[in-house]
Copies of this chain bind each other. A is one copy, B any other.
Amino acid sequence: MAERASRTVSVASIRSPVGRDGILDVAARLFREQGYGPVSLRKIAEAAGIKAGSIYYHFGSKDEIVVAILDLGIRAVHEKMRQAVLRHADGAAAAAILRAAIRAHLRALLDVSDYSSANVRIFGQVPQSVRDANLPTRRAYEAEWDNLLTRLQRDGALRRNVDIRRLRLMLIGALNATLEWFDPERGSVEALASTYADVFLNGILEQREV
């Protein structure tokens, strides 16, 4: 490919550099597909079309790459979820708001972002120091959920016998678990999100009496 570089400046460079972002994109995809362990710097480099040593021009260590990906991953879900909730007025039905938040989280994981799915996939496999570096960003997203749930519970829409922190851990844990088995050929993300909302909001028991 790319026989000779351009002689004139006007022609956009033929061999455009991969660069920091290109490396991150490729690494995020590999991490999502294969997990943390099997993805070496040489694999990342090869997939990006460069050599392993070259990565150190953009990053100081492998951990630095992973930390960057983990952070971008959470920021992506966080933003999607925040905006989905914001689209509802303050007085909107609790069920509708929760549905939107669940849907946004699942879409970010399963549709939109390699970074988000990579985060969920490899967070438990990564060295402690890397996890620690990611904690503040993570806590911010958790706080967003806690705020939402607390508000809805205060408004009387949520049962009062469940601890908010525990409820959030249950919810996000359940949603993240879909990454292990969801197959787009067996159903849409939309339908999945709808089912999750149904189950979490109303349960699976047939209601006979109240």
The interface of chain A, by Cβ under 8 A from chain B, is 35-37, 94-95, 121, 124-125, 156-163, 166-167, 169-170, 173-174, 176-178, 180-181, 187, 192, 195-196, 198-207, 210
The verdict on A202 contacting B205 (CB below 8 Å), with A125-B37, A210-B210 known, is yes
Q: Would you give the shortest CB distance from A164 to chain B, in whole angstroms? A: 11
Q: Copies of this chain, how many?
A: 2
Give chain B residues whose Cβ lies under 8 Å from the Cβ of A173. 174, 177-178, 180-181
Give chain B residues whose Cβ lies under 8 Å from the Cβ of A159. 204-206
Asked whether A205 lies within 8 Å of B174 as measured between CB atoms, the reply is no
Q: Would you give the shortest CB distance from A187 to chain B, in whole angstroms? A: 8
21 contacts between A and B (CB under 8 A): A36-B37, A36-B125, A125-B125, A157-B205, A159-B204, A159-B206, A160-B206, A162-B204, A163-B195, A167-B204, A169-B178, A170-B199, A173-B174, A173-B178, A173-B181, A199-B200, A201-B203, A201-B205, A202-B203, A203-B203, A207-B210
Question: In the bound complex, how far is the Cα of B177 from the Cα of A124, in angstroms?
Answer: 11
Known contacts A158-B204, A174-B174; 19 additional CB pairs below 8 A are A35-B125, A36-B125, A95-B205, A121-B124, A125-B125, A157-B205, A157-B206, A159-B204, A162-B199, A162-B204, A169-B178, A170-B174, A170-B195, A170-B196, A176-B177, A199-B200, A199-B203, A201-B204, A202-B205
